[in-house]
Structure 1
Amino acid sequence: MQDVAKQAVREYVENHSRQDLLSSVLDEELPRYAEALERLGK
């Protein structure tokens, strides 16, 4: 049972850490390329 709990916690931390990292990168980099992305979207 402990192994199952450890695995669940490990997966939770890995998934949320990646999401947090991705969110922070996007928050920092998207504004830099906002104009180019806007033009590409047209």
Structure 2
Amino acid sequence: MQDVARQAVREYIERTSKRELLDRVLDSELPRYAEALERLGQ
């Protein structure tokens, strides 16, 4: 049971860390491509 809990915590941390990294990258890079993305969406 303890191993299951450890694995769940590891997976949660991994998912959260990746999500935070993706959010930071998008926040910094998305404005650069905003105009092109807007045109593609039309």
Query: TM (normalized to structure 2)?
Result: 0.89
Specify every segment of 5 or more residues in structure 2 that has no aligned partner in the other structure, as ranges: none
Partner residue, 1:20: 20
Q: Say which structure is richer in helix.
A: 2
Q: Which runs of 4+ in 1 moved over 3 A?
A: none
Query: TM (normalized to structure 1)?
Result: 0.89
1:40 positional shift:
1.2
For this pair of structures, how many residues does the alignment match?
A: 42
- What secondary structure does 2:31 align onto? coil
**Aligned sequence identity (%):** 74
Specify every segment of 5 or more residues in structure 1 that has no aligned partner in the other structure, as ranges: none
1:39 positional shift:
1.2
